[in-house]
A = this chain, B = another copy of it.
Amino acid sequence: MAAVELVEVWRGGLLESVHRGHAVVVDAGGEVVMAWGDPEAIIFPRSSSKMVQALPLLESGAADAMGLTEDRLALACASHQGAAMHTQRVSAWLSELGLAESDLRCGSHMPSDRPTAETLVRAGERPCQIHNNCSGKHAGFLTLTRHLGAGPEYVEIDHPVQQAVRAAFEETTDETSAGWGVDGCSAPNFAGTLAGLARSMASFASAGSRSGARAQAQQRLTAAMIAYPELVAGEGRACTDLMRACEGRAAIKTGAEGVFVAILPEQGFGVALKIADGATRASEATIAAILSRLGVLEAGHPVVQRLTAGVQRNWRGMETGRIVTLV
């Protein structure tokens, strides 16, 4: 099934651009509740699967052995902006592991938190791997590596950490992964169907009705994300703003190339969407529209209005157009 039009961008009363994609909502039993486009489309979840990548950290007992606090669990699931609240926590975490920045394998990039980036520029300093948006996830990988007594190259596909991640991905999506690629942060990223990713999110959402190490880990990670929305992304970011607006009714996570997922514990629903062209403006608008349709967000909430009926303004603040969602 082809991707369908999900978001339009208008200017001067004319349609200027359009984004196509796939979206699906599944219930606790894995049944499709709503769908747009093709739920069986094969996608890379990218960073939207960080909660799945964090499961072995908890299920193995590594998190408790290290006494990881809830804010660190949120950071393990984060694509953070590299602000002080993120980097200081990751630095302290690495210190407690007896590890250094050089033990990370995520690479360095300028933090997207603008004040932090400007401070680095003013000081004539380069960003380090702790500024990488995935550094919390990697601190989690290192914690598990230590617990397992495994080797330092924890992003290699045959490393015990990544094999445990693959198992968690395949078990919660309830399918064999379609393959894997190297993510921006160098970790393997496992591909699967969009419906599979939604089933994985539904298994997090419905974990309260199950028992066992997995269900407990899923509940704790969901609760950590909801408790620390600012650690999962950062000030002004869609994930953070949407989680705050949902007031505890959803854990929400984006992934590169137009992916978004949501865990809705009250309904036991999992949501997953992929914009075919990879555009963030479209994935943000679509997740906000779907959350609003599902009743976990008020349609009139300022964040929903901003993302789904987004007035586009130019450098002088003039209205130039609008984003319109079609879901």
Contact = CB atoms under 8 A, between A and B. Distances in A.
Interface of A: 9, 11-20, 42-44, 105-109, 118, 121-122, 132, 178-186, 189, 191, 257-258, 276-279, 282, 314-321
A242 to B, nearest CB: 22
A142 B172 CA distance: 62
Contacts of A15: 42
A101 to B, nearest CB: 14
A318 B182 contact: yes
A18 B186 contact: no
8 contacts: A11-B182, A11-B189, A14-B191, A17-B276, A20-B277, A122-B122, A186-B315, A279-B279
B118 A181 contact: no
A170 to B, nearest CB: 16
A118 B20 CA distance: 36
* Identical chains in the assembly: 2
A65 B132 CA distance: 54
A314 B191 contact: no
A18 B320 contact: no
Contacts of A183: 314, 320
Interface centre among A9, A258, A318, by most chain B C-beta atoms within 10 angstroms, is A318
Contacts of A122: 121-122
B315 A182 contact: no
A103 to B, nearest CB: 14
Given A12-B189, A17-B278, A182-B320, 15 more contacts: A9-B257, A9-B278, A11-B182, A12-B182, A14-B44, A16-B43, A18-B277, A107-B316, A182-B318, A183-B314, A184-B315, A277-B277, A277-B279, A277-B282, A278-B279
Given A122-B121, A279-B278, A315-B108, A184 B320 contact: yes
A294 to B, nearest CB: 25
A115 to B, nearest CB: 11
A12 to B, nearest CB: 3
A321 B181 contact: yes
A315 B131 CA distance: 12
A259 to B, nearest CB: 10
A179 B316 contact: no
A252 B20 CA distance: 28
A154 to B, nearest CB: 13
A317 to B, nearest CB: 8
Contacts of A315: 106-109, 132, 184-186
B278 A16 contact: yes
A152 B57 CA distance: 64
A15 B314 CA distance: 34
B18 A276 contact: yes
A108 B315 CA distance: 6
Nearest to A316: B107
Contacts of A257: 9, 16-17
Contacts of A18: 276-277
A321 B183 CA distance: 9
B314 A277 contact: no
A208 B18 CA distance: 38
